[in-house]
Structure 1
Amino acid sequence: MHILRVANFVSPTSGGIKTALRHWGELYQEAGHRASLIVPGPGQEIAEESQGLVYRVPATPVPGTGYSLMWSRVGLSRLMDAIAPDVIEVSDRSTTRWMGRWARRRGIGSVMISHENMTGILVRRTPLLERPAHWAADGINRLSATDYDAIVCPSAFAAQEFHRNGLDADVVPLGVDLETFVPTRDLADGPAPGADGPLRIAHCSRLSPEKNPALSIETVRELVRRGRDVELTVFGAGPMLEELVRRAQNLPVTFHSYVTDRRELAVELGRADLAISPGPLETFGLAALELLACGIPVVCCDEGALQEVVGDGGVVAPSTPTAFADGIEELLGRRSARARARAAAERFSWPVSARRMLDVHERVAAQAGAR
């Protein structure tokens, strides 16, 4: 089976989607399938990579986002015809939704992966009030379910906005590389975090409004107010960087340059005692999962899918600096916190995730063949 993946919201500094595409592509091929990928690029380029043949096509930069988007339906349609896949896997429900209809006209199975929560995006990024935003999201989701043979979501939270309208959506959690993201210190209880110096806290995410990174800065402000000796390291890049740097003035906050090497990132994350993951719209939370795999307990918000991922590996708290600081305090007194963090991460596996994705692809390919 030849699986063509298409993703618009991928950039050199993007995280979860790019990581998922790479792992799935590699594992699809290990299972005996062909994998191709179309993503935005600064120009036309075709490259053979570990995840399969990657087509980078010209794209238009979107100011203030760090993303470039592929808009040419004619050009993309011609390229997809030339690739001639058996099924397509589209990681975008908005700018490329037409690809589901493209596939159906050609007798090809189609899968859309819902990496984002449309309701939350409309509530937080547009002037729409909550009820109209729900109506608009429901309409968009019904169109997606009509256009594609299958919808895949990485969490129960992400699937809920389909299920609430009686629409089918498969839940396929992402995985984590448990051999790269490993604890760098003994998981057994030892000296309390912060006993030999400042309490080291990590934040790892794209620095954009939907990730709510300012909450991490304000949590540190609250901890300092309480007399805690802390230092926060922010890993990530994005349009809010300058604003966050200004907000963090006179606070013990360091902004680390974007880390492209996954092993180097794992080592850097492993130096932390605790981590903060405040993203309220996360439909999975791969960065939080990678922290857990390093044995780093995580305080996450009680919105979105993060609580599904963090589980017993951390603390779930309301999205306020006071509540997150309380969560930090709770983790400081928790026995076996590092071991519980690693155990929480071991529930997730890329091979299992890829196998479940292949089950979906095989199902829609059979359905398309029967049409």
Structure 2
Amino acid sequence: MHVLRVANFVSPTSGGIKTALRAWGELYQQAGHRASLIVPGPGPEISEEEQGLVYRVPARPVPGTGYSLMWSRVGMSRLMDAIAPDALEVSDRATTRWMGRWAARRGIGSVMISHENMTGILVRRTPIPERPSHWAADAINRLSAHDYDAIVCPSWFAAQEFHRNDLDADVVPLGVDLDVFTPVRDLRDGPPPGQDGPIRIAHCSRLSPEKNPALSVETVRELVRRGHDVELTVFGAGPMLDDMVARAQNLPVTFHSYITDRRELAVELGRADLAISPGPLETFGLAALELLACGIPVVCCDEGALHEVVGDGGVVVPSTPAAFADGVEELLGRRGARARARAAAERFSWPVSARRMLDVHERVAAELRGRG
């Protein structure tokens, strides 16, 4: 099977989607399939990588987001026709929805992966009131379900947007490379954090409104107010960076330059005592999972899918600075916190995730053959 993957919201500083695309592509190829990928440029450029052939095509920058989007349907259709895949996998429900109809006209199966929570994005990033946002999200999701042969979501939280409208959606959790993201310190209990210096806290996510990164800074402010000696390191880039730097003035917060090497990132993350993951709209939470794999317990919010990932590897609290500070204090006193974090991460595997994605593609192909 030749699987063509297409993703619009991928940039040089992307996190989870880019990681998932790379992991799935490599594992599809290892399983004996072909994988191709189309993402925004700069381009045009074609490169042969472990995840298959990657086509980077011209794209138009979207101001203030860090993303560039591929808009040309004519150019994209010609490229997709030239690639001639057996199956289509699209990681975007809105700007590329027409591709489901493209696949149907050519008699090949199409799968849309819902990496984002449309309802939450409309509520938090547009002036649309909450109830109309739900209506708009439901309309978009119904169109996606109509245009694609299958919908895949990385969590039950993400799938709920479809299930609430009686639309089918497979749940395929993402994975983590446990050999790359591995503890750099002993998992056994040692001296309590903070005995030999500040309590080291990590924040790792894109700095954009839907991730609510300001909550991490405000949690530090609350911890300092309570008399804790803490130090927050922020790993990530995005449109809110300047705002975050201004908000963190006079607080023990360091903004780390963007790290492209995954092993280097794992080492840096592994130096933390614990981490904060405040994203209320996470449809999975790959950054939190990578922290857990490094043996770093995580305080996460009770919104979104993070609680599905963190499990016993941290604590789940409401999205307020006081509640997050309480969560930090709870983890500081929890015995075996690092070992429990690593154990939580070991529940997730990229090979299992890729196999389940291929199962979806093979089921869709079988259904199409049955109709023919």
Paired residues of 1:284 and 1:309 also in contact (CA < 8 A): yes
**How far apart are the structure 2 equivalents of 1:349 and 1:250?**
41
Which residue pairs with 2:348 in the alignment? 348
**How far apart are the structure 1 equivalents of 2:109 and 2:366?**
8
Task: Give, in angstroms, the shift of residue 281 of structure 1.
Answer: 0.3
**How far apart are the structure 1 equivalents of 2:92 and 2:175?**
20
Task: Give, in angstroms, the shift of residue 367 of structure 1.
Answer: 2.0
Task: Give, in angstroms, the shift of residue 368 of structure 1.
Answer: 2.4
Which residue pairs with 2:302 in the alignment? 302
Task: Give, in angstroms, the shift of residue 126 of structure 1.
Answer: 1.3
**How far apart are the structure 1 equivalents of 2:22 and 2:221?**
37
**How far apart are the structure 1 equivalents of 2:210 and 2:57?**
27
**When the two structures are superposed, what TM-score results if normalisation uses the length of structure 1?**
0.99
Which residue pairs with 1:191 in the alignment? 191
Q: Which moved more, 1:360-369 or 1:4-13?
A: 360-369
CA RMSD of aligned residues (A): 0.6
**How far apart are the structure 1 equivalents of 2:4 and 2:191?**
50
**How far apart are the structure 1 equivalents of 2:139 and 2:206?**
28
Matched, 1:238 2:246: no
Q: Where does 1:259-298 land on structure 2 (aligned, <5 Å)?
A: 259-298=259-298
Matched, 1:362 2:365: no
Q: Where does 1:50-89 land on structure 2 (aligned, <5 Å)?
A: 50-89=50-89
Once the two structures are superposed, what CA deviation does each residue of 1:120-155 show, in whole Å capped at 9, x if it has no partner? 111111112211111111110000000000000000
Which residue pairs with 2:201 in the alignment? 201
Q: Where does 1:1-371 land on structure 2 (aligned, <5 Å)?
A: 1-371=1-371
Task: Give, in angstroms, the shift of residue 178 of structure 1.
Answer: 0.2
**How far apart are the structure 2 equivalents of 1:119 and 1:207?**
20
Secondary structure of the 1:272 match is coil
Task: Give, in angstroms, the shift of residue 195 of structure 1.
Answer: 1.1
**How far apart are the structure 2 equivalents of 1:35 and 1:206?**
27
**How far apart are the structure 1 equivalents of 2:32 and 2:161?**
34
Q: Which amino acid aligns with 2:50?
A: S
**How far apart are the structure 2 equivalents of 1:252 and 1:270?**
19
Secondary structure of the 2:255 match is strand
Once the two structures are superposed, what CA deviation does each residue of 1:13-51 show, in whole Å capped at 9, x if it has no partner? 000000000000000000000000000001200000010
Paired residues of 1:278 and 1:319 also in contact (CA < 8 A): yes
Secondary structure of the 1:275 match is strand
**How far apart are the structure 2 equivalents of 1:231 and 1:333?**
18
Paired residues of 1:114 and 1:158 also in contact (CA < 8 A): yes
**How far apart are the structure 1 equivalents of 2:50 and 2:212?**
33
**How far apart are the structure 2 equivalents of 1:127 and 1:59?**
26
Secondary structure of the 2:120 match is helix
Once the two structures are superposed, what CA deviation does each residue of 1:237-259 show, in whole Å capped at 9, x if it has no partner? 00000110000000000000000
Task: Give, in angstroms, the shift of residue 74 of structure 1.
Answer: 0.4
**How far apart are the structure 2 equivalents of 1:276 and 1:306?**
11
Q: Which amino acid aligns with 1:100?
A: G
Q: Which moved more, 1:281-290 or 1:126-135?
A: 126-135
Task: Give, in angstroms, the shift of residue 196 of structure 1.
Answer: 0.8
Q: Which amino acid aligns with 1:232?
A: L
**How far apart are the structure 2 equivalents of 1:99 and 1:367?**
19
Amino-acid identity (%): 88
Once the two structures are superposed, what CA deviation does each residue of 1:184-216 show, in whole Å capped at 9, x if it has no partner? 111111100111100000000000000000000
Q: Which amino acid aligns with 1:327?
A: G
List alignment gaps of at least 5 residues for structure 1.
Answer: none
**How far apart are the structure 2 equivalents of 1:265 and 1:90?**
28
Number of matched pairs: 371
**How far apart are the structure 2 equivalents of 1:250 and 1:78?**
54
**How far apart are the structure 1 equivalents of 2:49 and 2:43?**
17
Q: Which amino acid aligns with 1:49?
A: E
**How far apart are the structure 2 equivalents of 1:355 and 1:106?**
25
Paired residues of 1:114 and 1:152 also in contact (CA < 8 A): yes
